[in-house]
Amino acid sequence: MLASMKEPLLAAMGGGYAIPGFNFFHQSSAEGIAEEAEARRSPVFLMISGVYARSLGVEVAAAMGRRAAEKVSTPVALHLDHGDGYELAEACVRAGFTSVMIDGSRLPLAENIALTKKVVAMAHPRGVTVEAEIGEVGGVEDAVYEEGGERKLALADPGRAAEFVETTGVDCLAPAIGNVHGLTKREPRLDFALLARVRAAVPIPLAMHGGTGISDDGIRRLVRGGMAKINVGTELKVAWRRGLIAFFEDGGYEPRLAMLAAKAEIRKTVAWKIGLAGSEGKV
């Protein structure tokens, strides 16, 4: 069912587990995520990035997400991931998203605060939760940009994070603690001590971006350290590719069956990450 994640996120923060956020990129992937969430009795964020929302069209993306969410009984938040501007966030809210992320992390702090406040003022009266980011999460997001690499990234400052949350009224914060988006040559160097300081300074749920490339033990440690939302994107695309390759290499050619094979691999990844997040059986 399509739902808000405000209360489930607070429950996760207090209960020592996380709610996973999974990126979808077409109807089959959205349905695979929702179906496995129901099988595992886990709340989930069904997320689409700003890049894909624009590519598909916001109304089409919203229809895909709603269809997948409404076919299951577990709570599913339809979430805009890495929205890069007010106009896109507003369009998603009007189209029926129950959660949006506004990513002003590349802006100076004052501008990030102003943008986030504007989105919160628009979204909250409509019952939509808002996530924001502070610091700099590098890497590759939807093959659009590549930043970070070997250079030093700007990590979240606990004092500024606390100021940001108090000033904006945001519901969930994604702090940069050394995490990166996309496939990486080695596991990111996460600053768990920084996470502890941010967790102590910030009274709202925290979100972990760039979950791909982090070991299972690393994810578990992040959850124990206070991350209440864990994002998964690239690994779902890899799973989709793996399912298609196996199907075609076995001689298959029927598109409908190919999509089922890819969906099955997506569901395996969803089940794995739900297990790591500790959210199975929470609804």
Edge to edge, the sheet with strand 180-181 lists 146-147, 138-140, 180-181
Nearest to 16 by CA among 225, 245, 195: 225
Q: Which residue spans within 176-280 are E strands per DSSP?
A: 180-181, 206-208, 227-232
Nearest to 234 by CA among 38, 49, 37, 35: 49
> Is 157 tagged catalytic?
no
CA distance 283 to 263: 23
Indicate the SS3 state at residue 135: coil
Name the catalytic one among 81, 103, 157, 171. 81
C-alpha dihedral over 266, 271, 277, 280, to 10 degrees?
A: 140
Residues in the chain, total: 283
Q: Are strands 138-140 and 99-102 parallel, antiparallel or unpaired?
A: unpaired
Residues known to be catalytic: 81
